[in-house]
Amino acid sequence: MAKPVKKERRYGKGSRRCLRCGTHVAVIQARGIMLCRRCFREVAHEMGFKKYM
């Protein structure tokens, strides 16, 4: 068997990964954040999104 090749994901869930933890679940792309919802909550106040605290 050929060794598994990591395909480059251009679209769909796998194309967007959280910059912080690497998950592709619930990644927020708005405003160029590119973080999953969990990491976003943790860094939101540092980024000035105080209303989400």
Q: Is 19 in the site for Zn ion (CB under 5 A)?
A: no
Q: Is 44 in the site for Zn ion (CB under 5 A)?
A: no
**Cα-based angle 15, 42, 40 (whole degrees, multiple of 5):** 30
Which of 9, 15, 21, 45 is in the footprint of Zn ion by CB under 5 A?
Answer: 21
Report which of 45, 46, 37 is spatially closest to residue 18, judged by C-alpha positions: 37
Cβ neighbours, 10 Å, residue 39: 20
Minimum distance, C-beta of residue 2 to Zn ion, in the bound complex (Å):
32
Q: Is 36 in the site for Zn ion (CB under 5 A)?
A: yes
Query: Applying CB under 5 A, which residues contact Zn ion?
Result: 18, 20-21, 36, 39
